[in-house]
Amino acid sequence: MKQAVAQQLLDLVKTNYNTIALSFAATRRKEIWPEIKALTADIKSSSRVLDVGCGSGRLLEALSDRDVNYLGVDSSEELIKLCQANYPGNKFLVGDILNLQATVTGNFDYIFCLAVLPHIPSSSLRVKALQELKNELEPEGQIIISAWNLWLSTNGRKRFLWLILKGWLAGLFGFGYPGRMDFGDLVFPWKDTQGKEISSRYYHAFTGRELRGLAIKAGLKVEMFKRDKFNYWLILK
């Protein structure tokens, strides 16, 4: 993927989340997924927790019974404003996963990066993102990653298979938004509760093998890999 196309997609992601911040946060007012509860179960009070791509700050709901040293980082200024209003006792900063050192001082025991990698275009930038996370990790710490499994044809996800194919064909013939994208990339509209299209979103549809390969290229060890009906889950060191 050309650098200019990757930058346009990064800009699209940031614009999208600033535009949909309120409606996005509303969709996250649900019970925490069992997998997240399981992955946070062993985190003790006083642990340093970095939440990269913190979104609406929902991870804090899984940590509410412990006094952890939490920092949430997101590239969306509007989402960070919502986090600061909804969780005033915690620290949130606007920051870029591709340049974490500009915002974050390392030595975290746990780094969460949930549903963030699908928004990063190109393999090289995804590897860079993982290396940025690695640089902020304690030697014995853990990086917890999740990514959507969009290849499933069940659970209402058949539309993603069509969008992946459509995006690939557009790239093959030199069309598409905002230019030639990689196989597995898709751009589609975000609709509000009334069904009105208010923004466009960029995702990359990962395979499990692809995710494990990225971790290895970034110099990380895959401690755990699993998939469920909706997501891939990884623990990296």
Domain with residue 194: its CATH number is 3.40.50.150
For residues 111-130, give the mean pLDDT: 97
Give the model confidence (pLDDT) of 163-193 as tens digits.
777 766 666 665 555 557 888 888 888 887 7
Residue owning tokens 């509760």 = 193
pLDDT of residue 121 exceeding 60: yes
Number of folded domains in the chain?
A: 1
φ/ψ of residue 117, rounded to 5: -55, -35
Helices 208-217 and 123-135 meet at what angle, rounded to 10? 60
Those residues with Cβ within 8 angstroms of residue 3's Cβ, 6 or more apart along the chain or in another chain = none
For residues 109-132, give the mean pLDDT: 97
Please calculate the CA angle 225-123-176 and round it to the nearest 5 degrees: 120
Range of the domain at 97: 3-236
For residues 91-106, give the mean pLDDT: 95
Those residues with Cβ within 8 angstroms of residue 82's Cβ, 6 or more apart along the chain or in another chain = 21, 22, 25, 56, 57
Average per-residue pLDDT for the chain: 90
| Pairing label, strands 137-148, 222-227 | unpaired
pLDDT of residue 2 exceeding 90: no
Q: What is the pTM of this model?
A: 0.91
pLDDT band at 32 (very low <50, low <70, confident <90, very high): confident
